[in-house]
């Protein structure tokens, strides 16, 4: 599972990271509420672990805004505020679980695991994607636009899939390097530009509406 931990106390974040990593999860850290909300919206996570008391945007507000924006990833609150009213407040804000500090490491790991199972059981796997008249069949590994079949290389297919899953959002170079190329560093090459150019030629060249847009200084956006 990929877990986003939103915790401003670095020692606590380090401890949570160790607990979840040892349980086999991939962990990302955000150190304040504003950055946490951005990462929660832009990343693909299986669970969120959110501290109640955060700088820039507190945990309650963060989860409320995430849910109001359509975010579905299960969220677990961690907080020293542990009475019944505090727990009810957290659950009403949109959290799926609430764990009081201090907590046992094995309980945190078990609760995160339970959130992942709940997410898997509630969400049927997506097998088809559609943006405007562009369609992708993930099982058949085929793409069409306006009924016209488009042949893509494996990397082009992965690139387009990621863009379609984030249609309407600006996708940064860093996101593409991590999710499509599995790089966790920038190799300082033009590999992304080359592949985007090739993909654009295949999905936009013969059509009046241009779906794949370059957002200067930010990244790319597939508009439907």
Mean pLDDT of 81-107: 88
What's the domain range around 28?
2-122
Q: What's the whole-number mean pLDDT along residues 160-171? A: 93
Asked whether residue 123 carries a pLDDT value surpassing 60, the answer given is no
* Interval 38-88: pLDDT, tens: 999 988 899 999 999 999 999 999 999 999 888 889 999 998 887 888 888
Rounded mean pLDDT, 8-18: 95
Task: Give the model's pLDDT for residue 121.
Answer: 59
Question: In the chain, what percentage of residues exceed pLDDT 70?
Answer: 96
Q: Which pLDDT does position 7 carry in this prediction? A: 96
Residue 162 pLDDT > 70: yes
Q: What is the CATH number of the domain that holds 180?
A: 1.10.10.10
Domain boundary among 72, 95, 122: 122
Question: Is the same domain home to 90 and 142?
Answer: no
Q: Are residues 161 and 189 in the same domain?
A: yes
Contact (CB, 8 A) for 54 and 33:
yes
Per-chain mean pLDDT for the chain: 91
């Amino acid at each position: 599972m990929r877990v986003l931990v939103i915790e401003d106390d670095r020692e606590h974040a380090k401890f949570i990271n160790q607990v979840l990593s040892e349980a086999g999860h991939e962990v990302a850290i955000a150190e304040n509420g504003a950055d946490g909300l951005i990462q929660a919206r832009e990343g693909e996570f299986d669970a969120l672990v959110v501290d109640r008391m955060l700088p820039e945007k507190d945990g309650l507000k963060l989860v409320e805004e995430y849910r109001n924006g359509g975010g579905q990833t299960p969220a677990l609150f961690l907080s020293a505020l542990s009475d019944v009213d505090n727990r009810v407040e957290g659950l009403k804000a949109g959290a799926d679980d609430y764990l009081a500090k201090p907590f046992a490491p094995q309980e945190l790991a078990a609760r995160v695991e339970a959130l992942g199972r709940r997410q898997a059981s509630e969400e049927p796997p997506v097998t088809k994607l559609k943006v405007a008249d562009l369609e992708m069949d993930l099982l058949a590994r085929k793409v069409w636009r306006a009924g016209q079949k488009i042949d893509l290389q494996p990397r082009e297919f992965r690139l387009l899939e990621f863009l379609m899953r984030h249609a309407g959002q600006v996708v940064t170079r860093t996101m593409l390097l991590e999710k499509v190329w599995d790089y966790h560093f920038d190799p300082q090459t033009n590999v992304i530009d080359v592949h985007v150019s090739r993909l654009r030629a295949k999905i936009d060249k013969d059509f009046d509406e241009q779906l794949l847009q370059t957002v200067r200084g930010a990244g790319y956006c597939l508009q439907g």
